[in-house]
Amino acid sequence: MMNVVSDIFILGIESSCDETSAAIVRNGEEVISNVVLSQFSTHKPYGGVVPELASREHLRNIVPVMRAALEEAGHTYESIDAIAVTRGPGLAGALLVGLSFAKAICFAVNKPLIAVNHLEGHIHAVLLEQRQQGKHELEFPVLALVVSGGHTHLYLAESKENSWTYENIGHTRDDAAGEAFDKVAKLLGLGYPGGPIIDRLAKFGDSKAVKFGQAQLKHRDRRDHGKPEGERPHFDFSYSGIKTAVLRYVELNNMHAAIETRRKALIQIEQPSLDDYKQLADQPTLDLVASFQRAIVDDLVSKTLAAAESTQAATLLVTGGVAANSELRETFEREAPKVGLNVYFPSRPLSTDNAAMIAAAAYPKFLLKEFAAMDVSAEPGLVLR
């Protein structure tokens, strides 16, 4: 008799930060639905994510988001094969909403639960879309740069018979790159979240106008110093210095009054357009924004390519919210092939937090029957291995 392998549909749930998301993915390679509800307007007045408000919004939104994902996909809780949920890292209260909800459904309809590391989800966002385009072969060694609001991490990824493992070979010693984007945007009265706004405005500024020195981008370089022989070098990032340098520039150039005027004007506009931002940002601000973005991008690209060279990586995956940045993409796309490296990004909607990436990362675990116990806990500081 012929052995018919049926399709596996996994319902993914993501609630680690300020997006409530549910998605259905077939065989880890086709997004059937991916509903993402951003809490942008809730946190906007505070210029950043307020954890208590995030949990409250997840509670309010999780049922409608889940229903929408099922409906769009033409599925029910009964017709899916497993539920995958982000276990960490992330905000404790926010993670708990998704995890508790996932457990309750698994219990009610008797489906297996799969716990997923959020960072592994970001990596699988790229793999999912590669497979969706029919590309199933991946050339190893694979290096992944996860660059988001909470992380700037480099991993060497290995896969053996569906079992994925990750070795961290670099991370930020202070602020994440996305955090630097958000803090600088807030500092300049541009609002939240900063990354997408700076990305759009940087095109109108001169990226050579303000010089940010190496010292503002990296403090200690630990590479090879005192490492036992045979141990891999580390590639660390640091983005708190550049934020302070922007602040100092603002002070030296008396930009505070203009910033206050802009902040007040932007708060009055429900959803500011690019024209609104442009009208409210003077040329020195545009130049500062462009120079800041250029410095961050150059640093991310040069350190990542150095890590790729040192590990002889054949493939580079760049993922996480900051991977949506146009200048970062263009620079990697230009520079990586020069050193014989294939570089892949997720599409923009799959770069930032979403549940499709969680369902995709869960698929190999489903095949290995790596199911979570019903008493699995949320882990705000979960490490990826």
Footprint of Zn ion on this chain (CB under 5 A)?
Answer: 148, 353
- The verdict on 324 binding ligand KG4 (CB under 6 A) reads yes
Q: Does 210 bind ligand KG4 (CB under 6 A)?
A: no
Q: Which DSSP string corresponds to 161-186?
A: TTEEEEEEEEEBSSS-HHHHHHHHHH
Q: Which residues are within 8 A (CB) of 106 and not within 5 positions of it... i.e. 6 or more apart?
A: 83, 112, 113, 374
Nearer to ligand KG4, 9 or 47 (CB): 47
- 11 forms beta bridges with 24, 83
Cα 65 to Cα 46, 93, 99, 107, 132: the distances in Å are: 24, 18, 15, 20, 24
- Pair 290, 209: CB distance under 8 Å: yes
d(C-alpha 192, C-alpha 40), whole Å: 8
Identify the three-state secondary structure at position 160.
Answer: strand
Least distance in Å: CB of 62 to ligand KG4? 18
Look at residue 324 and give the partner it binds from Zn ion, ligand KG4, none, a contact being a CB closer than 5 to 8 Å depending on partner kind: ligand KG4
Nearer to ligand KG4, 51 or 141 (CB): 51
Binding mask 14-53 for ligand KG4 (x = CB under 6 A): ---x------------------------------------
Closest separation between CB of residue 200 and ligand KG4, Å?
8
Task: Give me 72's structure tokens.
Answer: 């769009």
Q: In whole angstroms, give the CA distance from residue 73 to residue 207.
A: 44
Q: Which is nearer to Zn ion, 287 or 353 (CB)?
A: 353
In this structure, the number of other CB atoms found within 10 A of the CB of residue 102 comes to 29
Q: CA-to-CA distance for 240 and 175, rounded, in angstroms?
A: 5
Q: Nearer Cβ to Zn ion, position 195 or 272?
A: 195
Q: Is 170 in the site for ligand KG4 (CB under 6 A)?
A: no
The reply to whether 126 sits near ligand KG4 by the rule CB under 6 A is: no
**Pick from ligand KG4, Zn ion, none: which does 346 bind, CB < 5 to 8 A by kind?**
none
Q: Among 320, 332, 341, 365, which residue interacts with ligand KG4 (rule: CB under 6 A)?
A: 320
> Given the complex with ligand KG4, which of 82 and 318 has the nearer CB atom?
318
Residue 141 contact among Zn ion, ligand KG4, none, beta carbon within 5 to 8 Å by kind: none
Question: Using the rule CB under 6 A, is 129 a contact of ligand KG4?
Answer: no
For residue 385, the number of C-alpha atoms closer than 13 Å in the C-beta half-sphere is 3
Helix (H, G, I), strand (E, B) or coil at 7: coil
Q: Which of 189, 193, 205, 346 binds ligand KG4 (CB under 6 A)?
A: 193
Q: Does 181 bind ligand KG4 (CB under 6 A)?
A: yes
Check if the beta carbon of residue 49 is closer than 8 Å to that of residue 60.
no
Residue 195 or 364: the one with the smaller Cβ distance to ligand KG4 is 195
| Closer residue to ligand KG4, CB minimum distance, 199 or 236 | 199
Q: Does 299 bind ligand KG4 (CB under 6 A)?
A: no
Closest CB to ligand KG4 among residues 304, 325 = 325
CB of 241 to Zn ion, least distance (A): 24
Strand partners, 319: 146
Span near ligand KG4 by CB under 6 A; candidates 190-198, 218-226, 281-289, 339-347: 190-198
For residue 306, list its beta bridge partners.
Answer: none
* Nearest in space to 12 (alpha carbons), one of 375, 350, 383: 350
Instruction: Classify 161 in phi/psi space as left (phi over 0), alpha (psi -120 to 50) or beta.
Output: left
For ligand KG4 (CB under 6 A), the number of binding residues is: 19
- C-alpha of 9 from chain center: 24
Kindly report whether the peptide bond that precedes residue 141 is cis, defined as omega within 30 degrees of 0. Answer: yes
Which of 241, 320 has the CB closer to ligand KG4? 320
291 interacts with ligand KG4 by CB under 6 A: no
Instruction: Name the site residues for ligand KG4 (rule: CB under 6 A).
Output: 17, 148-150, 178, 181-182, 193-196, 199, 320-322, 324-325, 352-353
